């Protein structure tokens, strides 16, 4: 059964179970889906409102982009766990002969690369979604300010959670060039996205208090 076809309640249960997957990777993808979804909702609550007519164009355009990002994140909820399961599958490979050992090692490297690319993709999507959220601050329905703030928080959690997954999988990886590449690319995304998330949250908290 696909994870996204489970009920929310079942998904929380399987997350809490002793099965190592789904774990933090799929949880981060869910955060991304909810964050992008909330951004889309804030746009939907802005479109068609007289008070926000000057932001109508921005809201419509952003809603479409946020919905597309939401859909991509929903897909990754399952594909990230599949990438993890590929690592687990390597542990069942035979390791008696030198050839088997070499095949196992190569398969593990490929599987770990899959578990790096998947969260890295989440980081890219989350950074993109955070740009959308930033642009909406002060330019969307103020009654939904807390929702926009929760969008920023979920996307920050998504990118940081995905980063932990990148780090744990490239750590000690046999292909050092691959590891270095993803470490540098991931860090660059973080450097750009985290200040955006924090600034959006701070501005929205002020808005909720004034």
Q: Which residues of the chain form contacts with a copy of itself (CB under 8 A)?
A: 3-9, 11-13, 15-20, 23-25, 27-28, 30-31, 33-34, 36-38, 40-41, 44-45, 47, 66-67, 70, 73-74, 77, 143-151, 153-154, 156-157, 160-161, 163-165, 167-168, 171, 201, 204-205, 208-210
Smallest distance from a copy of itself to CB 3, Å: 6
Rounded to an integer, what distance in angstroms lies between the CA atom of residue 137 and that of residue 126? Answer: 17
Alpha carbon of residue 140 to chain centroid: 23
CB of 76 to a copy of itself, least distance (A): 12
Nearer to a copy of itself, 97 or 210 (CB): 210
- Cα(46)–Cα(144) distance, rounded to whole angstroms? 9
Radius of gyration (Cα) for the chain, nearest Å?
20
What the block records as the tokens of 171 is 């750590």
Give the angle subtended at the CA of 44 by the CAs of 141 and 197, to the nearest 5°: 65
CB 63 within 8 A of CB 140: no
Q: Cα torsion for 34, 39, 45, 47, to the nearest 10°?
A: -140
How near is the Cβ of 196 to a copy of itself at its closest, in Å? 16
Q: Which is nearer to a copy of itself, 27 or 125 (CB)?
A: 27
DSSP 103: H
C-beta closer to a copy of itself: residue 111 or 150: 150
Residue 188 CB, nearest approach to a copy of itself (Å): 16
How far is residue 119's CA from residue 77's CA, in Å, rounded to a whole number? 10
User: Among residues 18 and 99, whose Cβ is nearest to a copy of itself?
Assistant: 18
Closer residue to a copy of itself (CB): 13 or 100: 13
Smallest distance from a copy of itself to CB 98, Å? 27
């Amino acid at each position: 059964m696909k994870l996204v076809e489970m009920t929310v309640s079942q998904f929380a249960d399987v997350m809490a179970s002793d099965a190592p997957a789904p774990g933090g990777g799929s949880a981060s993808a869910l955060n991304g889906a909810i964050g992008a979804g909330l951004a889309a909702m804030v746009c939907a609550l802005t479109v068609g409102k007289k008070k926000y007519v000057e932001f109508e164009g921005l809201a419509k355009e952003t809603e479409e982009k946020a919905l597309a990002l939401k859909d991509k994140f929903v897909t990754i909820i399952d594909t990230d766990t599949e990438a993890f399961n590929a690592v687990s599958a390597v542990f069942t490979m035979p390791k008696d002969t030198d050839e088997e050992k070499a095949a196992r090692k190569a398969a593990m490297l490929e599987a770990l690369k899959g578990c790096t690319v998947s969260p890295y993709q989440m980081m890219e999507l989350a950074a993109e979604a955070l740009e959308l959220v930033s642009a909406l601050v002060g330019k969307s329905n103020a009654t939904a300010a807390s929702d926009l703030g929760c969008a920023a928080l979920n996307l920050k959690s998504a990118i940081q959670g995905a980063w932990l997954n990148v780090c744990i999988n490239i750590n000690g990886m046999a292909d050092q060039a691959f590891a270095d590449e993803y470490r540098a690319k991931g860090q660059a995304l973080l450097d750009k996205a985290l200040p955006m998330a924090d600034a959006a949250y701070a501005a929205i908290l002020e808005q909720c208090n004034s």
